[in-house]
Amino acid sequence: MSLNSRNQRNSDFDNFKNNAKGIFEAFAEKDPSNERLHNLFSLCICPGGRDGGLNDKEVEVFYGNRPIGKKTQVSNNFQTITRLETAHGATLAYFRTDNGHVICNLYPAKSENQKPLEEVILLDYIKSPSTLTKKAKSHWDMFISYMEVTCIDGEPSLIQKLRVFYLKNFKQCVINKTLQEKRVTNLFKEVSKYVLTIGLSGFLILVFTLFKENIEDRKSQAKYKGQISTIENINQAASEISSNTKRIDESLQKIMELQEQINKDTQKIMNNTLESKEVLSESISHLKEIKSDIE
């Protein structure tokens, strides 16, 4: 099954390669940017590659070279040599891998003294070559936009600039012969690191604050419990004082009642004494009368 699948993918790529010239010529006729660029650099569509179309695993669509000036140099024997300076157009290249998948690359336009930082952009990786014909229009639009932005005579529109911005930030590229991560991935990592750092710092500050507040709450609770205990002791002492005062009042009341009873008894005794004195006085008077009569 795997062998049949790989053979089918190879067959689908061969079908795309055989029809590539007609596919991209149709796109070029309808693209307004191509007319000007074709007059400057000449559009080439090469099934099998630019080296004579001998590579069955390759399809290249590119703009050629054009002279843009000349410069004079001094050779080793001190003779002057005049050389032409050339500009190279962008390239859209399809490479079939051994397992039948297809790598789609974009190479920038450049001159001898001016070129982009990236050497190649990995535009697409197609696992199913049967979809190449459908994806070709999108690849063509990216190719034309990249050509307009990177070539020295480019006149990119806003949409083309946005497409190249997308390519440089959302696609992998090769710089100094090293495959780089997507810029958006690096940006996401930096933002994530920053967010995690700030978030962790904020979390630690929150934990420290809560811990501090917890300690302060415990101290406040202990202080509050001490105050409550003191108030309870004061209330208890006040209650005991009130109870003792009540008992004292009751004792004073009993003493006053006893004193009143004593006063009553004393009054009775005094009254009885007075009565006895009157009786005695009357008896003495009576005796005196009797004595007087006897004499």
Q: CA 156: distance to chain centroid?
A: 36
Q: Which residues contact 138 (CB under 8 A, 6 or more apart)?
A: none
What's the pLDDT score for residue 164? 97
Give 182-217 as a 3 state SS string. Answer: CHHHHHHHHHHHHHHHHHHHHHHHHHHHHHHHHHHH
pLDDT of residue 40: 94
d(CA 173, CA 104): 12
**CA–CA separation, 30 and 45 (whole Å):** 16
Predicted TM-score of the model (pTM): 0.65
Read off the pLDDT of residues 149-204 as tens digits, 9 standing for 90 and up: 999 999 999 999 999 999 999 999 999 999 998 888 877 677 777 677 776 666 66
224-281 pLDDT per residue, tens: 666 667 767 766 766 776 676 677 667 667 766 766 676 666 566 566 655 665 655 6
Output the pLDDT for position 100.
95
Q: Of 65, 38, 56, 57, which Cα lies nearest the Cα of 95?
A: 57
Picking from 113, 112, 94, the residue whose alpha carbon sits closest to that of residue 104 is 94
Which residues have C-beta within 8 Å of that of residue 181, sequence separation ≥ 6? Answer: 172
What is the per-residue pLDDT for 104?
98
Q: Which two tokens stand for residue 175?
A: 């710089």
Could you tell me whether strands 43-47 and 120-126 are parallel, antiparallel, or unpaired per DSSP bridges?
Answer: unpaired
